[in-house]
Amino acid sequence: MVELFQGQPCRRIRIACGDTVLVALQGAHVLSWVSSGRERLFLSPANHWDGHTAIRGGIPVCFPQFNARGSLPRHGFARNLPWQAAQPVEQADHAQLDCTLRADDHTRAIWPQAFEAQLRVRITPGQLQVTLSVDNQGPTPLSFSGALHTYLAVDDIAQARLSGLGGQAEWDALTDARAPADAALRFEGEFDRVYAAATAPLLLADGAHRIEIAQSPQWADTVVWNPGQTKCAAMADMTPDGFSHMLCVEAAQVFHPVDVPAAGRWQGWQRLRVVA
């Protein structure tokens, strides 16, 4: 059943323990994940909600381009377009929703590729997994970059700590500096860094709350981002204090595009698990 949130059509899935996920059809965008009675994702209260402007917060699907690294609109077009949702599958201990975006005249006008993208959103008690699949339906190879641009909710970014990337290659997009990552990342001011993805899950500690963050090896990079107070104040779709309540930890493909052969398929996921 389609429901409206801020005037936009959405689908909701739920399981017996009370965990729920809300997905907007625009962008197959996960807007909310409530687990153990707590909202685990950040969603900006200053969004425009016009059905085509990118939604700030939740889990945007950045495809087929990461940021402005190419000739397409920033972060690609998938997050701005309507996706088709299948009938949800709901059982007591798991629920799943599949959404699909197919190439059409609009996408071919800016990216001449024959493709089908699918986002599978699956919850089990205390866990959310989001899987992006890309099918190349054309006769030539297809290349893309992108991300699952996850905004995690925190009570106070100044108290948040992210561990698990220690020793991984780090690129600071603000200073263009490269170095091995610290064992624990702390956030004071604007933070925008790309890491070589770790093989083991990361842990975001926010006071008494903890989220484990894992990604499949098909995503080569992990992006960690917070706009900080100054940049946040200049963003039209964020409230001035929004930066203090969110941290993006993204499963991403930034530096080297994914190549999908003709008639081939690529698939990558990010998994969030409540630890406390």
Q: For the residues of 21-58, what is the DSSP string, one character each?
A: EEEETBTTEEEEEEETTEE-B-B-TT---SSSSPPPBS
| pLDDT the model gives residue 90 | 97
User: Does 3-274 carry CATH code 2.70.98.10?
Assistant: yes
149 is catalytic: yes
Say how far apart CA 72 and CA 251 lie, in whole Å: 20
Backbone φ, ψ for residue 228 (5° rounding)? 75, 170
Q: Which residue type, as a one-letter code, is found at position 121? A: V
Backbone φ, ψ for residue 110 (5° rounding)? -115, -15
DSSP string, 91-132: -SS-EEEEEEEE--HHHHHHS---EEEEEEEEEETTEEEEEE
245 is catalytic: no
Determine which one of 29, 75, 149, 245 is catalytic: 149
Instruction: For residue 81, count other CB atoms closer than 10 A to its CB.
Output: 18
| pLDDT the model gives residue 1 | 83
DSSP string, 203-253: EEEETTEEEEEEE-TTS-EEEEEE-HHHHHHT-TTS-TTGGGGEEEEEEEE
Write out the two tokens for 146: 């992108």
Residues in the chain predicted with pLDDT less than 70, given as ranges, are none
Say how far apart CA 156 and CA 276 lie, in whole Å: 16
| pLDDT the model gives residue 210 | 97
The pTM assigned to this predicted structure is 0.98
Closest CA to 1 of 59, 9, 94: 9
Domain boundaries along the sequence of the chain: 3-274
Determine which one of 29, 170, 245, 250 is catalytic: 250
CA dihedral 44, 66, 260, 164 (to 10 degrees): -70
Say how far apart CA 19 and CA 38 lie, in whole Å: 9
CA dihedral 62, 63, 64, 69 (to 10 degrees): 0
Say how far apart CA 173 and CA 68 lie, in whole Å: 13
